[in-house]
């Protein structure tokens, strides 16, 4: 099925960014418009919690799913073999995973407003991850931070058991999977 293919045309590859951007543009409006005013301050905290949760989700998905569970390991291996190809998680799959594995449990645990706000934070993290990961493979690094990320990610592509974090190295240091050039 074409919608679940990991290699994308330019249109479908960049459409994923637009879908994510639409979600993170629309959700704050919906939350502020429909949520009771008494929960607005808590919504900001929930967004930050979702963004923080994304950093761990990014690390865990990359380490334990993309490098540990078939068929994801095989599919992700294709990205390692062809790092400049337009390979990414299909939009429909990422939306389904965010909804079922994060929004639903967050909503059941914290309620509709806080669960949706936390999901907004997670989605912002996912969007930023997508932009940074694309930049690592397709852009010339002009900032010191992007050069540092690019070096760490290049090490990951050479030695896949290290440097799972794409947007931040914190969890790699915490779980002893960080590696610098030797």
Rounded CA gap, 73 and 75, in Å? 6
What is the full DSSP assignment across 166-178?
Answer: SS--HHHHHTT--
Question: Residue 181: inside a domain, yes or no?
Answer: no
User: How many folded domains does the chain comprise?
Assistant: 1
Confidence (pTM): 0.91
pLDDT value for 44 = 97
* 162 falls within a domain: yes
Buried b (16+ CB within 10 A) or exposed e, 119-143: bbbbbbbbbbbbebbebbbeeeeee
In a domain, 180, yes or no: no
pLDDT tens series, the chain, 182 aa: 555 567 778 888 888 899 999 999 999 999 999 999 999 999 999 999 999 999 999 999 999 999 999 988 988 888 899 989 888 888 888 999 999 999 999 999 999 999 999 999 999 999 999 999 999 999 999 999 999 999 999 999 999 999 999 999 999 999 999 998 75
pLDDT at site 92: 87
pLDDT of residue 15: 87
In a domain, residue 179? The reply is no
The pLDDT value given to residue 131: 95
Assigned domain for 49 exists: yes
């Amino acid at each position: 099925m074409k919608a679940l293919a990991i290699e994308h045309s330019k249109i479908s590859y960049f459409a994923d960014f637009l879908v994510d951007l639409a979600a993170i543009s629309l959700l704050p409006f919906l939350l502020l418009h429909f949520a009771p005013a008494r929960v607005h301050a808590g919504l900001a905290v929930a967004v930050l919690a979702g963004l923080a949760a994304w950093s761990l989700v990014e690390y865990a998905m990359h380490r334990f799913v993309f490098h540990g569970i078939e068929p994801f390991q095989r599919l992700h291996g294709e990205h390692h073999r062809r790092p400049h190809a337009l390979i990414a998680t299909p939009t429909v799959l990422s939306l389904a995973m965010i909804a079922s594995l994060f929004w639903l449990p967050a909503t059941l645990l914290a309620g509709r407003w806080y669960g949706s706000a936390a999901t907004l934070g997670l989605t912002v993290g996912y969007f930023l991850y997508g932009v940074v990961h694309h930049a690592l493979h397709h852009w010339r690094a002009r900032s010191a931070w992007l050069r540092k990320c690019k070096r760490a990610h290049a090490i990951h592509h050479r030695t896949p058991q290290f440097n799972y974090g794409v947007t931040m190295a914190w969890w790699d240091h915490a779980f002893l999977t960080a590696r610098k050039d030797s």
